[in-house]
Chain A
Amino acid sequence: MTNNDEFDQVLDEALAEYRDAEPLAGMEQRVLQRVRLHAERRWKLWRWWGAVAACAAMLAVAAWIGLHDRASQAIIAKQPTTTQQQRPPVESQPKNVNTYASQEPAPRRALVAKAPSRSPNVVRPAPSASTKQAAIRPQFPSPTPLNSEERALLALAQTHPETLSHLQSNQDDREIAIVPINIQPLVNETSRKQGEN
């Protein structure tokens, strides 16, 4: 290198490699094409994620409804006990032991079926399909808590077992006394007078 001018010239030519670097033909088109593809891919990805989110939301709603139904079934199962607790105590109702004895013991299912009508304060949800399905239980007869009458009978059996055994022994051969009904004919005052005359 003899002088600065020659060095500058050589350096300038060496730097021309960077200055005059040219991309391959059609670089702009390739860049724009890639950007378009990328944007489309992103849009598709967003739509796919949107669909996934919608499905997840639907599943969550379905799961919530299922849980809600299960909870309402649990409430229905607990309701007979609740209604019995709201009722007045058994001792306050004057009942005759003979009345129990004279009546045919009602089947347990019938008692359960009548339970809702006895407690008007209790609001029950409308029986849905799932509720009906839940009513069909694997154990038959379905275990239900005792109602007040049954508990009173149980208490009586525990306190006076001899009464129950006596009732049970006399129940089949007991005669039913039917008192004849005498109905007096209706007589007006005018017809009585006419009859007197």
Chain B
Amino acid sequence: MLEGTDEFATLEAVVREHGRLVFKVAYGLLRNSHDAEDVVQEVFLRVHRSGTKDVADMPAWLARIAYRLALDRLRKPRGLDIADIEMTSNQPDAEHLAMHRQRVEQVQKLIAALPEELRYPLVLSALQELNSRQIAGVLGIPESSVRGRIFRARQMLREKLSALREKQR
């Protein structure tokens, strides 16, 4: 347990250095700022209890705690009906920028609708603070599996987006 001013200063430094990464990991799963911040607080309370002496890879360790806590917070995976994504399909292509923005939103919804085993590696790969080895450590899977799942997630998104576009025509 971290006690005393020195230990608390250490904790403060850890919070300032890695707080945002922890937040992003939690946000990647929860997609809600308030829930993600709750997870961040919970993560650092655990750090305060357990200490950081034996931690070799601090970002990966913190990301793993945040990932597990966020998973606990997710009571059940939020499914997404494809009909929700098609709400913009009847809108006219008035402007190219608006069209592009619609596509980005569609992809975001498709990402949220991905299976968890594909979505989490993809979301974590978007965080520049974590490399594939660290993501593998967070998820508890081999590094090669991380790369394979990211590839499959991208492929699935591409197919679904193409299908959506075909429907819109």
Contacts and interface: CB of A to CB of B under 8 A. Distances in A.
Interface of A: 1, 7, 10-11, 13-19, 21-24, 27-28, 30-32, 34-36, 38-39
Given A21-B23, A21-B27, A21-B33, A30 B41 contact: yes
A24 B19 CA distance: 12
A31 B19 contact: yes
Interface residues of B, number: 38
A34 B41 CA distance: 7
A9 to B, nearest CB: 9
Contact of B12 (A1, A7, A27, A32): A32
Contacts of A19: 24, 126-128
Contacts, number: 88
18 contacts: A1-B161, A7-B161, A10-B100, A10-B103, A11-B157, A13-B107, A15-B111, A19-B126, A22-B23, A23-B19, A23-B20, A23-B37, A27-B40, A28-B19, A32-B12, A34-B45, A35-B8, A36-B8
A14 B111 CA distance: 8
A28 B15 contact: yes
Contacts of A27: 19, 23, 37, 40
Interface of B: 3, 8, 11-12, 15-16, 19-20, 23-24, 27-28, 33, 36-37, 40-41, 44-45, 48, 100, 103-105, 107-108, 111, 122-123, 126-128, 154, 157-158, 161-162, 165
Contact of A31 (B41, B158, B161): B41
A38 B154 CA distance: 42
Contacts of A14: 104-105, 107-108, 111
Contacts of B40: 23, 27, 31
A90 to B, nearest CB: 75
B27 A30 contact: no
A28 B40 CA distance: 9
Contact of B23 (A17, A23, A34): A23
Nearest to B157: A11
A11 B104 CA distance: 7
Given A17-B108, A38-B48, A30 B37 contact: yes
A18 B28 contact: yes
Given A14-B104, A24-B33, A31 B15 contact: yes
Given A19-B128, A23-B23, A35-B48, 14 more contacts: A1-B158, A10-B104, A11-B107, A11-B154, A16-B126, A18-B28, A21-B24, A23-B33, A23-B37, A27-B23, A28-B19, A31-B15, A32-B12, A32-B44
Contacts of A21: 23-24, 27-28, 33, 36
Nearest to A35: B48
Contact of B126 (A18, A23, A30, A35): A18
Contacts of B41: 30-31, 34-35
B146 to A, nearest CB: 15
Contacts of B23: 21-23, 27
